Amino acid sequence: MSFLLKWKEYSLDLSKKTYIMGILNVTPDSFFDGGRYFDKQKAIEHGIRMVEQGADIIDVGGESTRPYSKRISVQEEMERVIPVIERLAKEVDVPISIDTYKSEVAKEAISAGASIINDISALRFDPDMAKVAAEAKVPVVLMHMKGRPENMQDNPQYKDLMGEIISFLRQAKQYAIDNGIKEELIILDPGIGFGKRVEHNLEIIRSLKRLSELNSPILIGPSNKSFIAAIVGEKERDTGTMATVACAIMNGAHIVRVHNVEKAVKTAKMVDAIKRGEDAFMY
């Protein structure tokens, strides 16, 4: 299934290759790289470096959504991300995504130069987010999550994991369309690690092809999450991540969200060559 994301000055042909979204956490407490890029200059430099390594999108986030993390104010989140987005928008030629569920943050980020909204709540937590996204006419990532970050890992249970995720994402997509967001700008994310046990995350990756019935591009973000450490060990999260990236691409992912862009670019290129044939060599 092929998709073309086209908006403003950007055009991402998802039928040509797998796109790499580089994670840029401007936070002191994210689960993997918390504090590493909290300094704004370091964050900007890292964003530029990820583009040089081959990132197709940079995803900037100012609030940790790791399990049991605490919420921060709109003002604090904007103070973290807006200066970084403003600078990056002048330095890189790839789209910048704002990772937020707050409409005020999203609106200011778009004004600063962001051009994708990545909302872990699938427009549920802030009633104004759908309007902001529709008016901005930018792609929106809608993610499945059971609960909220502060309680999502409190014994998550499913009777039909993939069925429930598909139903949730179908409703989220329809809600977005009903609120003025164009269908061709909607991206869906099954929410690896968000209200999921180890076995749930593995099943999502194994059964990812089922999401094709929703007729939207699929983004997946397994990078360095705890289910990987549970299987291969804490020190091998990076290796495990690349294995999940490879399997996700083979099973239908169009965009992968990662910390290690350099390795993910090479992993995706190899898997694309296997999956798509010689045409993949051109990208």
Catalytic residue (one of 17, 80, 173, 225) = 225
What is the reported pLDDT for 231?
98
Catalytic residue (one of 148, 257, 266, 276) = 257
* pTM, full prediction: 0.93
What is the reported pLDDT for 247?
98
Structure-derived torsion over alpha carbons of residues 210, 211, 213, 219, reported in degrees to the nearest 10? -150
Please give the single-letter amino acid code of residue 98.
I
Q: What is the number of structural domains in the chain?
A: 1
What is the reported pLDDT for 156?
87
- Where the chain has pLDDT below 70, the residues are 1, 29-38, 67-69, 150, 152, 278-283
**Known active-site residue 225:** yes
Residue range 51-67, pLDDT digits in tens: 999 999 999 999 987 76
What is the reported pLDDT for 127?
95
The Cα 7–Cα 76 span in angstroms is 29
Report whether 48 contacts 22 (CB < 8 A).
no
What is the reported pLDDT for 71?
77
CATH at 157:
3.20.20.20
Strand order across the beta sheet in which 255-258 lies: 186-189, 140-143, 116-119, 96-99, 57-61, 19-25, 255-258, 219-220
Q: Is 57 helix (H, G, I), strand (E, B) or coil?
A: strand
Structural domain boundaries, residue 97 = 4-282
What is the reported pLDDT for 34?
47
Q: Smallest Cα–Cα separation from 133: which of 113, 153, 112, 118?
A: 118
Alpha helices in the chain (DSSP H): 40-52, 74-91, 103-112, 129-136, 161-178, 198-206, 226-232, 237-250, 261-276
